[in-house]
Structure 1
C-alpha cells in the first residue's frame, strides 16, 4: 500500500529466494520508547486532569489487528531458531481477539484512569479528512495467521493480558525514574 510496504515485500521476496530462511512478520509492535500504548496512556492522563482542556480523543476504528509486544516476539524468534523449526515465513503477533485501534485506546484509557468512554471512534477517512499532504495508506486488517508459529510449538500470549502487564510495568518504571 505504501513505499514502506513495498520495500518490506521486496525484502520478503529476496529472502524467500534462499533455500533456508526465516521471515518473522509482525505488526502493531509495542516495546520500549515511543509507541501507541504510551501515547494513549499519556492522553488518558491528560483527559483525567481537570486542569487540562483535553476532554476526549478520536481514534480510528476501521483498522484491525492485535498488539505485538517485543519481549514476546523475541521469545518467538529464539524458539524458532532454538528448535530448528521448519524454514519459512511465520506470523508473529499477539494472540487473542482482533480489535481496532480505538478498542485498544479505550482499553488503555480504562485501565489507566477509568475514562475509556472519552475515546471517540472515527473512520480512517474522517480522521485524515483535514490532513494536508499525502497520508501513507494503512492496511485495514493487520492480524496475522499464527498457525505456523503454533505448529512449531510456540504460542504467542494474548495481547490483552500482556497489555495489562505492560501498563503496570511502564507505570512502575516511570515512578522509579521520578524518584
Structure 2
C-alpha cells in the first residue's frame, strides 16, 4: 500500500476510535505510519481525508447491506417483509458502541466545527438516498431518478437519521425493525381507510 491508502486506512481506524473532532493529523500519521506532509499532498487537508475515510466506512457498510440483500430469503422488493428485513440489517449495524453511525450524529451536532467535513458529507448524503432505494424497493441504483431520490430516498434517509439518533441516545428504548414495520403498516391502513 502507498501513503494515500495507508492514510485512508489510518483515518478510518481513528474515526472509529476517536470520532471526527478528537482525531488530529498527528493521530492519523501515527496510526498510518506516514508523515504530516502526506495528508496535504494526497488529500489537501485533514478534514478532507476524514470525510473520505467516513465515506469509505459507509460504503463498506453499504456493501454489507448489498450482500445481505442478495442473500434475502425471497422477500419481495417493496413489501413490508422486505422493509422489516432491510431495517433489521441496518439497525444491526447501529448496535455496537463503536458504530460508525455515531459519527453521523457527531457531524449533525458539531457540524459547524467541521464545515469541510459537513459540506462534503452533505453532498454524499444524496447518493446515500439514491443507494437505499434499491435495497428496499428493488431495481438498480443507476436507474433511480432524481424525483425518486427527492421523495422516497429522502423519506428513507429521514427514517435512518431518526434511528441513528435513537440508537445513539438510548439503545434500550430505540425502535426495533418490527416496531418500525408495524408503525408503517398502521399508517398504510389508516391512509387506506381515510381514502375509502
* Greater fraction helix: 2
Query: Normalization by structure 1: what TM-score?
Result: 0.26
Query: Normalization by structure 2: what TM-score?
Result: 0.25
Highest RCO, 1 vs 2 (Cα 8 Å, sep ≥ 6): 1
